[in-house]
Structure 1
Amino acid sequence: MSDFSRRQLLAGTAAIAALAAMPARGQDAMAAADTRPDLAGKSVFITGCSSGFGRAGALHYARLGAKVIASMRGLPRPEAESLAAEAAAENLDLHIVEIDVLDDEQVAAGVAEAERIAGGGIDVLVNNAGIGITGPIEVQDMEATQLMFDTNVFGYLRMARAVLPGMRAAGSGQIFVISSQLGRLVVPSAGQYSPTKFAVEAMFEQLAYELVPHNIEVTIIQPGGYPTEIWVNRNRYTRELRDRIPESHANGYPALIARMGTEDGSGRDTDVLDVPRAIAEIIAMMPGSRPLRRPVHPQRIPQAAINTVSHETQLAWLGPSGYGPWIRSVLT
């Protein structure tokens, strides 16, 4: 690979020059035309579609013209029926498959079914399924810790490994992973959530570099706090953990343990559609120009400064090395 990055080559300097020369009114018209990305012809495969970003995203991408394969565990269930009914009422190209991201066999079977529906390799994977369990690290027993990592980290890896052969065969693809502000920052008593999201950040940045030769791009989405069902599920898992904490561990954190399983994120006024809108915008971008990371929150993105330092340090450290072409292709 030459000193020009894949992103620069694919973007095309001629197109950039033409846009720069366009009168301001013409640029405004183009921006207005692009406010609703066109996802026609794209297959978008999403995990964790029973609620939250997954459900909202499934409908949003389908409304933008994509063929959507929405997955969730435990079918049949009311959430699948309501999603299917809403899609049918709007005549959307939306299909539902069963996947529990903890189950290797279900992942393999679900991806095979999704590829059958798509008629080949998946264009876009959105790794969204995740859970939270709060409380001090000392009280996180191995059952809670293994469940967190198996869902939030290994589940993402299972899905990525399952779709990548088809993407590589097609010579293109996009993988999105839902991380968090807490994939860069740490809040005391948030349990293993930050550790799992830190792992996601590292794993999928590494994957982004390794997929450069295959023209497959990775974007890490970093939402702030949103009023999704994760709060309800998190409280259920957290109460189950709280009820089995041995006194030898619990007696060190009485105030923190008293709050475990009682948190409520429903009062947040942020719009859950912020995340699907950001993903759709990135899907529609020119190949080679898509960002490695995208913070998403209308007010608070404290991790942005860390993203900048990480970006600059990675380029300075490995940009001049033999890994440089991969690193520059993702970061420049």
Structure 2
Amino acid sequence: MPDITRRSLLAGTAAGAALVAARPAIANLPQVEPDLTGKSILITGCSSGFGRAGALYYARRGAKVFATMRNLPRPEADELEEIRWNEKLDLVVMELDVLSQESIDYAVQMAQSEVFGALDVLVNNAGIGITGPVEVQDMEATRLAFDTNVFGYHRMARAVLPAMREAGKGQIFNVSSQLGRVIAPSAGHYCATKFAVEAMSEQLAYELVPHGIEVTIIEPGGYPTEIWQNRNRYNNALKARAEEKHLSGYPALVARMGTETGDGRDTDIDDVPRAIAEIIAMPPGTRPLRRPVHPRFIPQTAINAVSRQTQLDWLGESSAGPWIKAVLD
């Protein structure tokens, strides 16, 4: 096995790494915004929410950003283009549908051709929420949730990794959720998809250690994004086609489907791109596997700590131990 303990290469940054490790797990943002000049970043799901906010945040800090979304042309793309033009940002709006391998391959190849090689960063952000009791979720809803939230991330990672491996560097950020570690009744398959993202991302992080590529799972809490309105559209469509024999067992939960607005959340959507930008700017080998992001509620931290210790205790001295320790130590 090659020398794959990447932190052993960072003796000169040991003190800095210790300080990073001592920080709280929430989005504890730096006083000086990171300089992302020279970084190339591709983001999925940039029509709204964390994707749109991130595209502008990274571009305003010097990165070359590929802001992708499906179904172009659309007003959201025109708005980003106008901001790009007015602020002279290095931002390219591109069409990309995470459900289509052909769309993914074309967009990634175009982005790589613009930077003459591997992308520095992939931010897997595109996702959907379809909520309600598990029994009410038909196969149409179930397939769409997993195809978008899990298989979409998988397709994207496979598209960018060959070039990243050849370059011997790169970062992948997979946007998960608090609900990728804690389970909320009536969340449909949202928890299941985000649990899958957590597992897939951690496995990928271990396997990519020899290639110098790092994976970070971002775990946001509740934020006032458009996911609430989109969720209502999916939920109302699901209710309309659901059979009474499934709906009748959960009258209170079914009544809520399609009615949630996300009102009352005063959190700043930019918390997520700030956390990602901070991690991008960290020295290689010091970046965390997971980053909970919310100014008040981060219930998953205890679970993350137990999971980390369990992995180290179970596999830390195995043949995979160097990979496990390189990611978790």
Fold equivalence (TM over 0.5): yes
The number of aligned residues is 320
Report the alpha carbon displacement of residue 87 of structure 1 after superposing the two structures with TM: 1.5
Alignment partner for residue 111 of structure 2, among 84, 90, 114? 114
Name the CA shift for 1:32/1:314 in 2 (closer, same or farther; >3 Å): closer
Report the alpha carbon displacement of residue 7 of structure 1 after superposing the two structures with TM: 1.9
Give 1:45's aligned residue. 42
Residues 29 and 278 in structure 2, CA contact (< 8 A), matched pair in contact too: no
Measure the CA separation in 1 of the matches of 2:183 and 2:31: 36
Measure the CA separation in 2 of the matches of 1:253 and 1:18: 52
Residues 220 and 292 in structure 2, CA contact (< 8 A), matched pair in contact too: yes
Name the CA shift for 1:310/1:54 in 2 (closer, same or farther; >3 Å): same
Residues 4 and 209 in structure 2, CA contact (< 8 A), matched pair in contact too: no
Q: Which runs of 4+ in 1 moved over 4 A?
A: 1-4, 17-20, 31-34
Amino acid at match of 1:60: Y
Within 5 A, what are the aligned runs for 1:162-241?
A: 162-241=159-238
Q: Say whether residues 1:264 and 2:264 are aligned partners.
A: no
Amino acid at match of 1:270: T
Residues 37 and 62 in structure 2, CA contact (< 8 A), matched pair in contact too: yes
Measure the CA separation in 2 of the matches of 1:85 and 1:144: 35
Give 2:22's aligned residue. none
Deviation by residue 1:67-122 (Cα, 9 ceiling, x = unmatched):
00010000000000001111111111000110010011101111111111222111
Within 5 A, what are the aligned runs for 1:283-302?
A: 283-302=280-299
The TM-score with structure 2 as length reference comes to 0.94
Q: Say whether residues 1:144 and 2:146 are aligned partners.
A: no
Name the CA shift for 1:79/1:151 in 2 (closer, same or farther; >3 Å): same
Give 2:318's aligned residue. 321
Measure the CA separation in 2 of the matches of 1:212 and 1:327: 9
Residues 176 and 218 in structure 2, CA contact (< 8 A), matched pair in contact too: yes
Q: Secondary structure at the match of 1:243?
A: helix
Give 1:6's aligned residue. 6
Within 5 A, what are the aligned runs for 1:273-312?
A: 273-312=270-309
Q: Secondary structure at the match of 2:249?
A: coil
Name the CA shift for 1:171/1:19 in 2 (closer, same or farther; >3 Å): closer
Measure the CA separation in 2 of the matches of 1:8 and 1:238: 49
Report the alpha carbon displacement of residue 129 of structure 1 after superposing the two structures with TM: 0.1
Within 5 A, what are the aligned runs for 1:10-159?
A: 11-12=10-11, 14-16=12-14, 35-159=32-156
Residues 73 and 98 in structure 1, CA contact (< 8 A), matched pair in contact too: yes
Amino acid at match of 1:208: A
Measure the CA separation in 2 of the matches of 1:251 and 1:269: 35
Amino acid at match of 1:160: A
Residues 126 and 177 in structure 1, CA contact (< 8 A), matched pair in contact too: yes
The TM-score with structure 1 as length reference comes to 0.93
Q: Secondary structure at the match of 2:241?
A: coil
Amino acid at match of 1:5: T
Give 2:25's aligned residue. none
Report the alpha carbon displacement of residue 4 of structure 1 after superposing the two structures with TM: 8.3
Measure the CA separation in 1 of the matches of 2:2 and 2:131: 47
Name the CA shift for 1:249/1:226 in 2 (closer, same or farther; >3 Å): same
Amino acid at match of 2:105: A
Report the alpha carbon displacement of residue 267 of structure 1 after superposing the two structures with TM: 2.5
Q: Secondary structure at the match of 1:217?
A: strand
Measure the CA separation in 1 of the matches of 2:106 and 2:197: 24
Measure the CA separation in 2 of the matches of 1:303 and 1:149: 22
Amino acid at match of 2:183: V
Report the alpha carbon displacement of residue 15 of structure 1 after superposing the two structures with TM: 3.8
Measure the CA separation in 2 of the matches of 1:70 and 1:60: 11
CA RMSD after TM alignment: 1.8
